[in-house]
Structure 1
Amino acid sequence: MSSVSITINADIRLRFAAEEDVPLILEFVKALAEYEHLLDKVTATEEGLRKTLFKDRRAETVICEYQGKPAGFALFFHNYSTFMGKPGIYIEDLFVKPEFRGKGLGKILLLYMAKLAAERDCGRLEWACLNWNEPSIAFYKSQGAVPLSEWTTYRVTGDTLRSLAKSL
């Protein structure tokens, strides 16, 4: 994980999260879930985030501050493309609080993720977006992103995951 802090201008600063940011990260996760109408699906805890983000280092978080206040975040991890033979970055969450929208913060976070992917010699930058989220879809397309319509994401969780794990 990096400890880099980047000042974009007098109002905007990006920084990698530190362990003391865990309550803030959980606040962002819940705010994103509320926006996506999925708050009832959040089971993350501060303890779990502390373990996975800072002890096990499974993912990284960039905090965006506007005039010294936490305004948004991007949480990401590395994946891998066997076809390219290179790592990639997968953005799990990119979110800006409603009161800070319209200031270009989402674009700055996305551009920073692209910069980080290039610096880390990644072959791609990927993320998912809910099909109904037209404002985000339009934004991503305006930045040159293309939807992968030929791929379908599959998922197993909870009891199904545990059942599969016991099958071997």
Structure 2
Amino acid sequence: MTIEIRDARPEDMPAVLRLVKELATFEKEPEAVEVTETDLVRDGFGEKKRFHCFVAESQDEVVGLALVYPRYSTWKGPVVHLEDLIVTEKARGQGVGSTLLATVVKYGHDLGVKRISWEVLDWNEPAIKFYESNGAVVMRDWDVVQLDENGIENYLNNI
């Protein structure tokens, strides 16, 4: 499989959304995706760019993506957060994920970040093995904490 990694363009957002939905199904939350193509175009290419996206293309088809955005660590300084690295099921095992991860690492290095971080589900052993084999440290003693929209509203209503 010949793979080309490039910066995503607005016209790639239907394929990006398709991959996001494929990931949500894989992660057993097919109904959880609320973002739309319009949101992705606005947030990735608009006046206030909120993320950067790389796509992996093979034979003019988007078969993978890596979506990143800047963060700041009070301990380390500038950080890049890898929100999702997704490879469509039919393209897995063909080097797409490795090539996307290498692109993200080079991107972070070029930005001068001190760390690249992301989450992985504790049951996704193939992904964990992939990340560890590429030098990542999976910190199993940390838990992800989130407030969703309802949680935010409830919190604000109770202070």
- Counterparts of 1:43 and 1:49, CA distance in 2: 11
Can you list the C-alpha shifts for 1:61-113, whole angstroms capped at 9, x where unaligned? 100012332110001101112222x3111110101111111111101111111
Moved more, 149-158 or 97-106: 149-158
1:95-134 superposed matches below 5 A: 95-134=86-125
Question: Which residue, out of 98, 123, 132, partners 1:141?
Answer: 132
Gaps of 5+ in 2: none
Preserved contact between residue 11 and residue 66 of structure 1 (Cα < 8 Å): yes
Aligned length: 158
**Residue 24 of structure 1: SS of its match in structure 2?**
helix
C-alpha deviation, 1:23, in angstroms: 1.2
Amino acid of the structure 1 residue aligned with 2:66? A
Q: Structure 1 pair 52/165, CA: closer, same or farther in 2 (3 Å)?
A: farther
Amino acid of the structure 1 residue aligned with 2:106? K
State TM-score, norm by structure 2: 0.92
- Counterparts of 2:13 and 2:156, CA distance in 1: 30
Question: Which residue, out of 51, 55, 75, partners 1:63?
Answer: 55
Question: What's the counterpart of residue 14 of structure 2?
Answer: 23
Can you list the C-alpha shifts for 1:115-150, whole angstroms capped at 9, x where unaligned? 111111000111100011011011111111111234
Pair 1:78-2:78 in alignment? no
Pair 1:43-2:34 in alignment? yes
Identity in percent: 34
Amino acid of the structure 1 residue aligned with 2:69? F
RMSD of aligned alpha carbons: 1.6
State TM-score, norm by structure 1: 0.87
**Residue 54 of structure 2: SS of its match in structure 1?**
strand
**Residue 112 of structure 2: SS of its match in structure 1?**
coil
**Residue 64 of structure 1: SS of its match in structure 2?**
strand
Q: Which runs of 4+ in 1 moved over 4 A?
A: none
Gaps of 5+ in 1: 1-9
